[in-house]
Amino acid sequence: MPFARDRNRPNFSHSILKIERYGYFGNVFKILFLNRSFFSVTRNFQKEEFYLFGKKFFSRNLSSCFSQYSLLNILFSRLNEELIEQSSKIQTLTNNNSLSSTNRKRILLLTDHLAQVGGAETRICKTAELLEQLKLVPIILAQHNSFAQSHKYTSLTLDLRDPHLPSILSRWIEKGKIHGIEIHVKNPRVIYDLPLFAWSKKITIGAVFHNVFPITDRLRQQLTHCHYLLSSQIKIVPNVVVVRNWTDNFPIVWKYRQQKTALLISRLSKDKSLHFSRFVDFCRTNNFKIRIASEHPEKPWQTGFIRSLNLSPEEFIGPISTLSYLENHSDEFLFVAGVGQIPLEASSLGFPVAVMSSKKKAEFPEPLIFLDNQNVEFLNQWNFVINECPSQELEANSKEFLDSVNNDKISAKFFVKEKIQKIREPGELIKIYKNYFVDSTTTC
């Protein structure tokens, strides 16, 4: 699978000083000066070694925490294998009314962490749902899983920092417990340590990118062993099929009832702080009540940041399951704000939706852009995120939205459910899964 330069791929330009991070073992960290190794760290099962200009100057025993990761995985091992065995056995009634068990192909959806909310988390659950529809067995494996919706599927726990992780997964493959692995990549670190070349001879390997990050030569080599590459956002490497998140065709639940409250759905993280501050400014300028669906501020920087915005605890409603919450509170909010998965889900229920800007005010003065029939296809190409996209192609429309509110009738241009349903569907993904998992007579 060749990796030529692609004009749609993010260009991480070369600089005088470059930092590269790899897996947990082997070469784990490198600082390049003028493309020459200046400082690097390697790690094996016994030691960590430190190099300056290619010469070792210090070593130390491997931290005891890695032994603890291995011990944890030993404790998880028996339960994990029992859950795998149970997952594919479904009981059906035969013609003589006796019960018969059927074995189905098991597909492991591997990721690092599943948070309480998030677009990647939702995508993994939608993938599991799609695999089930294709009569396959999805199994979710994560180091930590707080996403409640995923618990209806078989869910396994392993610490991905365990040096014996490749051996554990290889054993499952050798025993025929796993017929395919789809790696959901939020952080590429774990990919470096997996024996993808060996696995690719026995089962199907796929990767789905949920974030944008630099592609090192080592990572590029690993990806050549994948049978398919997907992205939920943009074309981070060539030969990637972009299949953005989708949602089901829900009935419209929102109606204009002169609501005066706006809802921001977002994680309370440093990279989302600009969304919070610009949302708060917009609402206060236009006399809207504020509600924020995120984790409650607990860390020192979170409490300090919230205090700086003069937000009260009552304005936080905690993490939510977007679709079910909005279905049950459709009459409370004038519009829903967010990025990524949030505009997709809220608009599918008929809500007016604002995409928050991730650009600084000097770059892009508008704090947000309301989805409308003119901009929805453009913003869809950028996964409903205003950051890397050419913002000069976006026309400010918040004043038009506010004018329609003041006239007690929201313009029809701000309802984009039908357009989104047409441009966001998993047809290409279904073809890929059928090709590699359903129609294939072999495991890879």
Q: What gap in Å lies between CA 121 and CA 328, rounded to an integer?
A: 22
pLDDT surpasses 80 at 338 = yes
Same domain, 431 and 395: no
DSSP conformation letters of 347-409: HHTT--EEEEB-S-TTT---SEEE--TTTHHHHHHTTT-BSSS-GGGPPP-HHHHHHHHHTT-
Q: Which of these, 328, 325, 327, 303, lies nearest to 313 by C-alpha position?
A: 303
Same domain, 100 and 131: yes
With respect to residue 29, please indicate whether it lies within any of the assigned structural domains: no
Same domain, 408 and 270: yes
Compute the distance between CA of residue 66 and CA of residue 398 in angstroms, rounded to an integer: 52
CATH number at residue 126: 3.40.50.2000
Same domain for 140 and 285: no
Whether the predicted pLDDT of 33 surpasses 90: no
Task: Give the tens place of pLDDT for each residue, 278-328.
Answer: 999 999 999 999 999 998 888 899 899 999 999 998 999 998 889 999 999
For the chain, give the number of residues.
444
State how beta strands 261-265 and 289-293 pair. parallel
**Is residue 428 over pLDDT 70?**
yes
DSSP state, 217? H
Q: What is the DSSP letter of 433?
A: H
Domain that holds residue 134: 66-245+426-438
Residue 22 lies in a domain: no
- Cα 179-127-428 angle, rounded to 5 deg: 95
HSE, side-chain direction, 13 A CA sphere, residue 256: 14
Whether 317 and 404 map to the same domain: the answer is: yes
Answer whether residue 253 is part of any domain. Answer: no
pLDDT band of residue 423 (cuts 50, 70, 90) is: confident
Look up the pTM and report it: 0.82
Residue 393: CB atoms within 10 A of its CB come to 9
Do both 235 and 267 map to the same domain? Answer: no
State yes or no: pLDDT of 149 exceeds 50. Answer: yes
Residues 34, 270: Cα–Cα separation, whole Å: 31
CB-CB contact of 404 with 410 (8 Å) = yes
Strand partners, 205: 181
Q: Bigger pLDDT: 391 or 133?
A: 133
Q: What's the structural domain count of the chain?
A: 2
